[in-house]
Amino acid sequence: MNIFPLIKYSYLQRVRNYNFLITLCASLAVAYTFVPAPDANYSTIRIADYVGDYNSAWFGYVTAIMSSLFLSLVGFYLINGGIKTDVQTKVGQIIATTKVTNATYLFSKVISGFLILLTILGIVLIMSIALFHLYNENFPFEIFQFIKPYFLITIPALFLIAVLAVVFEVFFRKYTILQNIGFFFLFSFLMLSSRTHEDNFSSDMLGTQIVMNKMENQVRELTQGDRIKELSIGYVIGNKNAAKKFHFNGMEFPYSFIISRIFWIALGALLVFLTTGFFHRFSLKESSTQKAPKVAIQTEITNKEIQISGLSKLTTNFSILPLLRTELLLLIRKGKKWLWFINGIGMLLLALVPLEIAHQFVLPILWFFQVSRISGLTTKEFTNKVHYFAFASFKPLQRLLISQLLASILLLLFLALPLLVRLILAANFIALSAVILGGIFIVFLAAVFGIVTKGKKLFEVVFFMITYTNINKIPFTDYFGALSQNSFLPVKLSICILMLGAIVYSIRNYQLKTS
């Protein structure tokens, strides 16, 4: 069977999704910051005290590197779940009855996901060209300097991300939390390993280190220094205006690096082909192995009268506590039981490791492990198609919505309990309030994204970005007071929580009236 209709169907299904439009707008907003404005107070790629002249080469290579890192970071969470969608829409079961092979189906998912990322990349490239003309410092426009790093650095990296999204979904199947956690550690490992490369750039999957090495060598020759240690990729706030300029004219990529990029693509294709043997092909064997329910034995009908007075009296309880208990149980029981063993290890680390490490690194990672639990906070009614029933309950805003928010907040604060106790003993009440408000902030953020998009994917992407940037000590995304413990931080968090709460209440109230 022709693979192109499958690719077209999967691509259009993703593009027409409301989440894609929001993610595209967010990507453009982030891409706008890849190359700072001439008067900006931050830098993205900086070698010691030097940044490049705003010529075509600098624009092209910087935006290609930042796009490779950013889209690799969020791309997995954007495009994974394609197989799960086909299961939910019953399209997969239809495909399973056709002559479509496993390899054809999985490659169609890889290519459609790759095209989604290329669509975003193409728009980012157009924006980068527009920014070049906006920030132009009388340098000529050279299109080849723009597209060359995109073809050799960014595109192969995005193809591998598309491969990993399908492979993870095949092996972990319905366990979304394992997909999220697995890619989190894999991406962190790739970033760490890319920084350790010296001359062996062929093993750098993201392909960014060879360019950074070229820039570093050029600055070293300019300063006649032996080693440039202060090389940074990412957002560095402050001291931008004090940076010196050097002229970067691009680079000629060695043939070994070009061959390695082709090899990475071929390795990804081979990995998909090997994965076909493990693909379940929408098989229902798992459900068929379950024990059949016992048939109720029909009891003999008697003519004895039913004593109404002996029946239990019907009581009504409009308290929020039963709903809160139910929501807590839903959160706790979601996922495999052994995942709570990992949560227990995280709580133990919060109690034992140095306080600074526990606050800066362990806490955000432990909270990120709950992404699959809290991402469905306000979407599970729509996912399970019970939203009409839920919205018809007694005071759904005052009881149901508040119980969902409170349950998630209690879960995150319970996981952070060892750290909260240590902060109380250390009398660090600013950090204590920041952690509490940070947990509330993340819950309200999940509620907003869930209510707006009626899906979990966008919050998973955003939460991953926030967690990763916090681990890399970027102050802008510090929502729990690990990097900046000033008295104004709790005020800012409180204002953000109030704004998010107003959005949640307004949109859910509108949904209740229109449903």
pLDDT of amino acid 289: 40
Mean pLDDT over 303-326 rounds to 75
Q: What is the 3-state secondary structure (H, E, C) of 105-169?
A: HHHHHHHHHHHHHHHHHHHHHHHHHHHHHHHCCCCCCCHHHHHHHHHHHHHHHHHHHHHHHHHHH
The greatest distance separating any two alpha carbons of the chain, rounded to the nearest whole angstrom, comes to 104
Q: How confident is the model at residue 263 (pLDDT cuts 50, 70, 90)?
A: very high
Mean pLDDT over 20-40 rounds to 81
Structure-token pair, residue 315: 């009581």
Token pair 């956690």: residue: 181
Backbone angles phi, psi at 47, to 5 degrees: -115, 105
The answer to whether residues 279 and 102 touch, using CB atoms and an 8 Å cutoff, is: yes
Q: How confident is the model at residue 161 (pLDDT cuts 50, 70, 90)?
A: very high
What does the alpha-carbon distance between residue 90 and residue 95 come to, in Å, rounded to a whole number?
9
The tens digit of pLDDT for each residue in 186-226 reads 888 877 766 555 566 888 888 888 888 888 888 888 777 55
Look at residues 42, 57, 229, 242 and name the one whose alpha carbon lies nearest to residue 140. Answer: 57
Say whether pLDDT at 179 is over 80: yes
pTM of the entire structure? 0.76
Structure-token pair, residue 447: 């509620």
* Rg of the chain (C-alpha set): 26
Say whether pLDDT at 285 is over 70: no
Structure-token pair, residue 129: 């060209």
pLDDT of amino acid 105: 93
| Single-letter code of the amino acid located at 211 | V
pLDDT of amino acid 301: 47
User: What one-character-per-residue DSSP string does 373-429 give?
Assistant: HHTTTTTHHHHTT-HHHHHTSSSIIIIIIHHHHHHHHHHHHHHTHHHHHHHHHTT-H
The tens digit of pLDDT for each residue in 237-260 reads 665 556 678 888 888 889 989 999
